[in-house]
Chains A and B, each alone.
Chain A
Amino acid sequence: AQSVTQLGSHVSVSEGALVLLRCNYSSSVPPYLFWYVQYPNQGLQLLLKYTSAATLVKGINGFEAEFKKSETSFHLTKPSAHMSDAAEYFCAGSGGYNKLIFGAGTRLAVHP
């Protein structure tokens, strides 16, 4: 069965520092992969998606992610954190009927 694992339920960085949120997937066939962000009391907003067109995917708000088949990883990065990046981030893979299979989420805190 396909699964998505996010390492680290909480990540804390300083403003201006590199953001790295880790995601590994388990699948016999590279799926579609997604990163979503959730701000308090809001729904999920798509940051970026991998659909096999390119291994390095650029998303909104300066985020990007690299698909590495050899490592079954799809880590999310941003070179310089901003206070407004504080939120919860979810990695997801697509299952049957394109339903999303989510990781447990990583809460990102950004401190001055």
Chain B
Amino acid sequence: GAGVSQSPRYKVAKRGQDVALRCDPISGHTALYWYRQSLGQGLEFLIYFQGNSAPDKSGLPSDRFSAERTGGSVSTLTIQRTQQEDSAVYLCASSAYNEQFFGPGTRLTVL
């Protein structure tokens, strides 16, 4: 069956550009998480969605980061005015029964 998909898989942005990263979760999974994986910080939680609501945004590193989820399905993580320190792999996971299923990630490189 289809797993979690993310697009684009690779993104190169110039510093100051806005980027949007997409996550398509497994059908029927109401919980969705975003994580960031970077060399300096390891794997960090960013935000959690239950349905279209985000009860936990505690991991978003700055107000340049935002995320939304529509129709209880697709989620988009947006980074405004990208900085070099935003370079990382952004992972999305959808969840059922306390198990999270991860997508392949989007590798963002900010030049």
Binding site for B on A (CB under 8 A): 32, 36, 41-46, 49, 51, 90, 92, 94-105
Residue of B nearest to A94 (CB): B98
Residue interface mask B67-100, A partner, CB < 8 A = 1: 0000000000000000000000001010100111
Whether A105 lies near B4 (C-beta < 8 A) is no
* One of A45, A90, A95, A98 near B95 (C-beta < 8 A): A98
What would 18 more interface pairs be, CB under 8 Å, given A36-B102, A41-B104?
A42-B104, A43-B4, A43-B105, A45-B102, A46-B101, A90-B43, A97-B31, A97-B48, A97-B55, A97-B56, A98-B31, A99-B33, A99-B48, A99-B59, A100-B43, A101-B45, A102-B43, A103-B42
* One of A45, A99, A102 near B42 (C-beta < 8 A): A102
Residue of B nearest to A44 (CB): B102
Given contacts A94-B98, A98-B98, contact A43 B56 (CB under 8 A): no
* One of B33, B35, B99, B104 near A46 (C-beta < 8 A): B99
Interface: B25 (CB within 8 A) = no
Chain B residues positioned under 8 Å from A94 (CB to CB)? 98
> Taking the nearest CB of chain B, how far is it from the CB of A104, in angstroms?
5
Residue interface mask B27-47, A partner, CB < 8 A = 1: 000010101000000111100
Given contacts A43-B102, A98-B98, contact A104 B91 (CB under 8 A): no
